[in-house]
Each structure stands twice: as structure tokens, then as C-alpha cells.
Amino acid sequence: MLPRTATVGTYAITPTNALSNGAFSPSNYTINYVNGSISVVPVSLTLTANNHGPKNYGDLVSSAGTEFSTVGLVNSETVGSVTLTSAGAPRTAAVGTYAIAPSSATGGTFNPANYTINYVNGSISVVPVSLTLTANNHAPKPFGAVVTFAGTEFSSLGLVNSETVGSVTLTSAGAPAPAPVGTYAIVASNAIGGTFAPSNYTITYVDGSMTVVPVTSPPVIIPPLINPPVVLLPPGVMSSETTPDDTPIVLAEAAVDWPVQTPLDIGSRSAMGDGGSHFALVGEGVLMPPLAEAPLTTPEMAPPVQLVPSAPKPQAPLERPRKQDRF
């Protein structure tokens, strides 16, 4: 009989020692023994890779080679290890379910040649990892200004494999010019671009904020009022000159008769008098009657000017010519 441990192969069955039985007596025969044969064939062995628990995207799975089970080993034999491979094991494996394939069983006490090995795959699931995208807070915006977002005003937390996010959609009710003074959320959404794949992440969007503030007006500087120089003109002669606020210069009255029958040179201007007491204030100089002491002003500065002449100078009496002076 072949032992249980006989390995797969073909063995001879050798007959010997024929015994007498009833009428047969070995001594009566020249016995020729011819061998028979027996074949040991492999037994079925199933090696099944263990399923792996969910793996976060970006994690790396390494196998020790012992994550399997067996069915069909005989004689208390063992399998030392198998090679386990999976496309879901690397860090870059995208979210999804992947096979874990066993192969190349070795070691232990078993002889692979004695088994017909059937390898059964296990599985591994890659699940999304958490990613937080936070909109940046915006500096205070004056009322009436418009804010335009480029889509890059955000920060990220949770990206793996050195991946990047290209941009997000940023919206805020405080961005348009008519937005009233107050604080508004900046809402991030729809992350795209870069090197990341949104399907590999569970994305949480966190709002930023922006404040619309009142417009600050610059101080108003009012220049001092500069009155034009004045000159006296007779009544009825209206000047084209005006005050800084475009008010025509009005006529003023003088309190004394001052006959002026010819043009008077007053710098770059001239004026005419008619012997009356009415004069106007215009021009670049001051025309005053002789010996008048009162200053002249424009209507914005004071009421009409009263011109007060000084006392007339006495004149020497005329002398009669002496006889010796006569011709």
C-alpha cells in the first residue's frame, strides 16, 4: 500500500509471494510476477486572499503574504505564504473596489506539486478622504466698490499625494456695488482644476467673510475768498468785473463832488468822472478823490463806501503887479 504522504506520480505495484490456496500449489508452477501500477494525482487546494478593510485614498497597503485562507490541505500540511497583489494598494489608487490577487504559494510543509491549486481573489475598497476648502476672509470693502473673485482666494486642508486644487467658485452678497454696509459670507463651491480628482475626496466647504464699510469722504478745503482790487468809475459806467462768486460789482456813492473830466490813469486801467458823486468799484487799482482818507471795499466786505474829503488847502491871495513891474 502507498502511504498517505506519497507524492504525485506513478508507482509500480509489485506482486510477490503467491500463496497456495486450495488446489493451487506454488511448487507446481514457475511463477512470473508482472508489476501493476498506481498513480498519485494532485489533490485540489483552494487558496483565497483575505478581503481588506476600506482604505482611505492616499494610504499605502503592504502585504505580509499571509493574508489568505486554505481549503484542501492534507496530512496536516501548511502553506507558508502567497504573493498578494492589488491595484488598490498604492497611495495613488483612486476611489473604488479592487481585487487582491493571490499567487505563488510557497513555504510551509506542503508540496505545491501535490496539489492543484485554485487561487481566489479577495478585495479592497478605496474610500474618499476628507478635504476642507476654506474661503479666505476679504479686507473691508468701501460701500459702492465691486469685488471680483479670481477663484484662488482659499486654503485647503487634507490634500494627499502632493495634489493641488486649481480654483473654487466664490460668491458673496457683499461683492456687488449696491451691497449695504454689513458683514457677508463668502461661499466657496465647485472645486476644480489642479492635480486632484474631486471623486477621491469628501469635500467640506467653509465660508469666509467680508465687511462692507461706509465710504469715508476726504475733508473739504474751502479756499479763502480773494476780493479783486477796486477802482472808482462814474455812475452809468458798468464794469464787466465780477466777484469770485460771479456777482456783478455794484455802484457805490461818494460823499463829495470831485470833478474829473478826463480819463484817469490807475495802473493798467482808466476811469472817467463826470463831476458827480457816483462812482463804481471795479478794476485793478483804487481811484480816490484828492485828500480822501476812507478805504474802499467791495460789497462782499462792507456796505457802500462813503468818501470823506479833507479840508481844502488855503490858496494865497493874488497880488497886484507893482509899477516897476509894468511895461
0.85 exceeded by the pTM?
no
The region, left, alpha or beta by phi > 0 then psi within -120 to 50, assigned to residue 65 is left
Question: 216 Cβ partners below 8 Å, 6+ apart?
Answer: 142
Residue pair 219/239 in contact (Cβ under 8 Å)? The answer is: no
DSSP β-ladder status, 129-135 and 43-49: unpaired
Question: Domains, the chain, ranges and CATH?
Answer: 9-40 (no CATH), 43-128 (3.10.430), 130-213 (3.10.430)
Answer yes or no: are the C-beta atoms of 100 and 124 closer than 8 Å: yes
Owner of C-alpha cell 459670507:
185
The string of DSSP codes covering 131-171 is EEEEEPPPPPEETT------S--EEEE---TT----EEEEE
CB 197 within 8 A of CB 94: yes
Task: Tell me the pLDDT of the chain (327 aa) as tens digits.
Answer: 778 888 888 888 898 888 887 788 888 889 899 998 988 899 999 999 999 999 999 999 999 999 999 999 999 999 999 999 999 999 999 999 999 999 999 999 999 999 999 999 999 999 999 999 999 999 999 999 999 999 999 999 999 999 999 999 999 999 999 999 999 999 999 999 999 999 999 999 999 999 999 998 777 888 887 766 655 555 554 555 555 566 555 444 444 444 444 444 444 444 444 444 444 444 444 444 444 444 444 444 445 544 444 455 555 555 555 555 444
Which grid cell is 79?
A: 502553506
